[in-house]
Chains A and B, each alone.
Chain A
Amino acid sequence: DGGITQSPKYLFRKEGQNVTLSCEQNLNHDAMYWYRQDPGQGLRLIYYSQIVNDFQKGDIAEGYSVSREKKESFPLTVTSAQKNPTAFYLCASSNTRGGSPLHFGNGTRLTVT
Chain B
Amino acid sequence: GDSVTQMEGPVTLSEEAFLTINCTYTATGYPSLFWYVQYPGEGLQLLLKATKADDKGSNKGFEATYRKETTSFHLEKGSVQVSDSAVYFCALSDLTNAGKSTFGDGTTLTVKP
Contact = CB atoms under 8 A, between A and B. Distances in A.
Given A99-B32, A99-B49, A42 B106 contact: yes
A60 interface: no
A33 B101 CA distance: 10
Contacts of B91: 102
A106 B42 contact: yes
B51 A98 contact: yes
B90 to A, nearest CB: 10
B42 A42 contact: no
A9 to B, nearest CB: 8
A96 B103 contact: no
A31 B101 CA distance: 12
Interface stretch (B20-28, B73-81, B92-100): B92-100
Interface range on chain B: under 10, 10 to 19, 20 to 34, or 35 or more?
A: 20 to 34
Contacts of A58: 100
Contacts of A41: 105-106
Interface of A: 4, 6, 31, 33, 40-43, 45, 48, 50, 56, 58, 90, 92, 94, 96, 98-107
Q: Name the 6 nearest CB pairs between A and B, nearest first.
A: A104-B43, A99-B51, A99-B32, A42-B105, A101-B46, A42-B103
Interface of B: 32, 34, 36, 41-46, 49, 51, 89, 91, 93, 95, 98-101, 103-106
17 contacts: A42-B105, A43-B89, A50-B99, A92-B43, A98-B32, A98-B95, A99-B32, A99-B51, A100-B93, A102-B44, A102-B46, A102-B101, A103-B46, A106-B41, A106-B43, A107-B41, A107-B42
